[in-house]
């Protein structure tokens, strides 16, 4: 029997973080079992299939989803923040609907290092309690996600905590050249003639504007001290607008990457950074994987949890970010960069082992299913 899995997640939406989750899961799974047949549920099936060498079907076409699930032995749901209803009330219902369909078809279901929450709507809470208890194996990426599932009434199976899938990547295996070309194309100076680069990853969050002014002020300070400031959009095109807004607030020149960048290209861009200041979770994770020190700006508990796991600083929350506090964190980080790097790399190495082990658990569940 062919080993066939279906992967459900936020794929095909031009979000580098979620695409990096898929890219990482595929690398981890294929490294352990190269003959896997993989189908991905995607908002852009043609692009997903071409980018990752998988079969892909339209996630919105219930017939295509049903046919893919009918042919598989295992559904992997994850990773990323799928079960949350902050951005939309439909998120939880969609992803649990796919799980429910898989269970109706008699398929095994594996949660792959998911981030859970926030969950504020009663309908979401009730759906999680009803459906997630039917999942065969659950892994989440932090203690808060586990605690929330338990609070919502998930009692089986045991909930395991594993690192985010993207932490399974290894910098030495990544091709940096494509990303470096993107930086040069956008006017960033590399090599001996170029000043060190500080990257910034931002997103709009509700109606808050103060954090943008704080970032603009610190950006000016960095340029005046001899750094290049580069804004990296992780969700295209959504992140370009707040990036340009902050760059326009600055008195000094900054670069905003205008291109839609893929996972490999973004990893290459990040590899050239001296420091990354990030709001997007996967900007912080991907920079850390590439051996770049990071400073987080929190808009969600998932940011706090990751920064704690690698022992790196939070400059504050998006609602109250203070330019002086952020500037102090940046100064300390740049001053102690060479001392911080070994500690960061050690923390990431430990998480890499944990992240890759999640793939082993998924494949063991697949093998158990095939042997029954």
The neighbouring-strand residues paired with 297 are: 316
Task: Give the CATH class of 4-162.
Answer: alpha beta
pLDDT tens sequence for the chain (372 residues) = 468 999 999 999 999 999 999 999 999 999 999 999 999 999 999 999 999 999 999 999 999 999 999 999 999 998 788 998 887 778 899 999 999 999 999 999 999 999 998 898 999 999 999 999 999 999 999 999 999 999 999 998 889 999 999 999 999 999 999 999 999 999 999 988 889 999 999 999 999 999 999 999 999 999 999 999 999 999 999 999 999 999 999 999 999 998 889 999 999 999 999 999 999 999 999 999 999 999 999 998 899 999 999 999 999 999 999 999 999 999 999 999 999 999 999 999 999 999 999 999 999 999 876 665
Please give the CATH number for the structural domain made up of 172-350: 3.40.50.2000
Region(s) of the chain under CATH 3.40.50.2000: 4-162, 172-350
**Rounded distance between C-alpha atoms, residue 218 and residue 339, angstroms:** 23
Q: Nearest Cα to 274, choosing from 222, 350, 328, 220?
A: 222
Global confidence as pTM: 0.95
**Rounded distance between C-alpha atoms, residue 196 and residue 183, angstroms:** 13
Instruction: Extract the tokens encoding 127.
Output: 């759906």
Termini Cα distance of the chain: 12
């Amino acid at each position: 029997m062919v080993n066939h899995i279906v992967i459900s997640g936020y794929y095909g939406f031009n979000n580098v973080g979620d695409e990096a989750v898929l890219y990482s899961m595929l690398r981890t799974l294929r490294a352990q079992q190269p003959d896997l047949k993989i189908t991905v549920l995607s908002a852009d099936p043609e692009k997903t299939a071409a980018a990752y060498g998988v079969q892909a079907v339209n996630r919105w076409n219930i017939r295509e989803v049903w046919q893919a699930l009918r042919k598989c032995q295992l559904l992997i749901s994850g990773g990323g923040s799928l079960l949350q209803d902050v951005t939309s009330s439909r998120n939880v219902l969609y992803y649990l609907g796919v799980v429910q369909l898989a269970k109706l078809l008699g398929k095994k279901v594996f949660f792959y290092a998911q981030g859970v929450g926030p969950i504020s709507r009663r309908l979401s809470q009730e759906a999680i309690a009803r459906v997630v208890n039917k999942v065969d194996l659950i892994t989440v990426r932090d203690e808060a996600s586990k605690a929330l599932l338990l609070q919502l009434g998930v009692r089986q199976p045991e909930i395991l905590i594993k690192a985010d899938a993207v932490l399974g990547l290894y910098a030495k295996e990544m091709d940096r050249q494509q990303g470096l070309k993107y930086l040069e194309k956008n006017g960033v100076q590399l090599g001996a003639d170029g000043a060190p680069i500080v990257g910034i990853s931002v997103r709009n969050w509700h109606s808050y504007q103060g954090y943008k002014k704080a970032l603009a002020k610190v950006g000016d300070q960095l340029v005046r001290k001899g750094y290049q400031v580069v804004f990296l959009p992780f969700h295209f095109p959504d992140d370009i607008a707040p990036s340009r807004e902050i760059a326009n607030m600055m008195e000094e020149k900054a670069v905003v990457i205008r291109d839609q960048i893929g996972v490999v290209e973004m990893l290459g861009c990040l590899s050239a950074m001296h420091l990354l200041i990030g709001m997007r979770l996967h900007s912080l994770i991907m920079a850390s994987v590439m051996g770049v020190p990071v400073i987080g700006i929190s808009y969600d508990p998932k940011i706090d949890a990751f920064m704690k796991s690698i022992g790196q600083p939070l400059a504050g929350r998006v609602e109250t970010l203070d330019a002086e506090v952020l500037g102090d964190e940046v100064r300390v980080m740049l001053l102690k960069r060479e001392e911080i790097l070994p500690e960061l790399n050690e923390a990431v190495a430990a998480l890499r082992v944990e992240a890759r082990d999640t793939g082993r658990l998924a494949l063991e569940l697949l093998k158990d299913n095939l042997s029954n």
